[in-house]
Amino acid sequence: MTTIIIYKKDGKRIEYPHESRPGGSYTNHVKYEGNFVVVIDVWGNQIVYPSYDIERVEVIPNRY
């Protein structure tokens, strides 16, 4: 159960909050492939950002 926040160089902040999904323990996660940051949500959707446009990525585990 993870929240992912992407801080872009232009000052924008994009947040992928933890969302529940029935049927198991699914969570958002991020991976880095070459010059890209890939965010994968609980449904398996992938959102790809070029790394040159990103200042930093914050991954916050939500532990209950």
The predicted pLDDT at position 27 comes to 81
The predicted pLDDT at position 64 comes to 57
pLDDT of residue 1 exceeding 90, the answer is no
What pTM does this model have?
0.83
Give the CATH number of the domain where residue 15 resides: 2.30.30
Q: Which domain holds residue 33?
A: 2-61
The answer to whether 47 touches 14, Cβ cutoff 8 Å, is: no
Q: 63 — phi, psi (to 5°)?
A: -105, 125
The predicted pLDDT at position 16 comes to 92
Q: What would the pLDDT profile of 6-64 be if each residue is shown by its tens digit?
A: 999 999 999 998 877 776 667 888 999 999 999 998 888 999 999 999 999 999 887 65
Q: How many domains does the chain have?
A: 1
